[in-house]
Amino acid sequence: MRLFFAIWPPAPVALSLARLADTLAQRFGGRATRRETIHLTLAFLGDVEEEQLPAVLDVAREVTAKSFEMTFDRLGFWRHNRLIWAGGASVPPELQTLVVALRERLLAASLPCDASQSFVPHLTLVRKVGDSHPVLPQLSSMNWACDRFVLVRSQLGAGGAGYAIVAEFPLA
Ligand code: 2AM
């Protein structure tokens, strides 16, 4: 099974980001992320054997991290993978600590974790953007209180990835 840890935005935030994603995809081409799949990835494991799931859950339970307030106030475009994303000008230290703890514990438990890229917190809004120089609008700042993270199972289908939340973990 294909797994990753993520933070899932509250419904009103996801709704306004999905509307924005639709607008951006119409303007610049590409595939907008659907409301129910907008998320912030913390650690991507990739394919994991079914029998490794208890060890993955143990890793998450052992991580002690604090809740934090996340602010999204800018849009970005990555040309190498043609993504438009929403992010924040600053990374809350609690978020950085959570990501480092998850990645370190996964690796210490000999579980897979893609640590090839440094962590840039982002919510992917549009994939396969057609325009190679999209002039992005300002993002009106939105905040949300992150008080939990989730383990997610990804299933790739014809219409893109479908995600199922496997377990939730509270932040102190
Ligand atoms: P993305 O939104 O920037 O594409 C599920 O695939 C989630 O894991 C996506 O949010 C994706 O980020 C993220 N991810 C991180 N590393 C990945 C990898 N090596 N392969 C696929 N997805 C990855």
Q: Whose CA is nearest to atom 12 of ligand 1?
A: 41
Distance CA 19, CA 76 (A): 17
Distance from Cα 41 to the centre of ligand 1, integer Å = 7
- What is the reported pLDDT for 171? 97
pLDDT at 115: 85
- 157: pLDDT confidence band, cut at 50, 70 and 90? confident
d(CA 7, CA 21): 18
Atom of ligand 1 nearest to the CA of 127: 4
d(CA 42, CA 58): 16
* pTM, to two decimals: 0.95
Given 3.90.1140.10, 1.20.120.1730, 1.20.1250.20, 3.40.50.150, which CATH number is that of 2-170? 3.90.1140.10
The average pLDDT across 25-38 equals 97
pLDDT at 159: 72
Complete DSSP assignment for 40-84 = EEEEEEEE--GGGHHHHHHHHHH-----EEEEE-EEEEETTTTEE
Position 2 confidence tier, pLDDT thresholds 50, 70, 90 = very high
Task: Provide mean pLDDT across the span 30-56.
Answer: 97
Instruction: Provide the pLDDT for residue 71.
Output: 94
Mean pLDDT to the nearest integer, 15-23? 97
Q: Would you say residue 160 has pLDDT above 80?
A: no
The per-residue b/e assignment along 100-113, b for 16 or more CB within 10 angstroms, e otherwise, is: ebbbebbeeeebbb
Mean pLDDT of the chain: 95
Question: CB under 6 Å to ligand 1: residues?
Answer: 4, 41, 44, 83, 114, 124, 154
Point out the ligand 1 atom lying closest to the alpha carbon of residue 40. Answer: 10
The residue whose CA has the least distance to atom 23 of ligand 1 is: 44
Q: 119-154: per-residue pLDDT in tens?
A: 999 999 999 999 999 999 999 999 999 999 999 999
Distance of alpha carbon 86 from alpha carbon 124, whole angstroms: 7
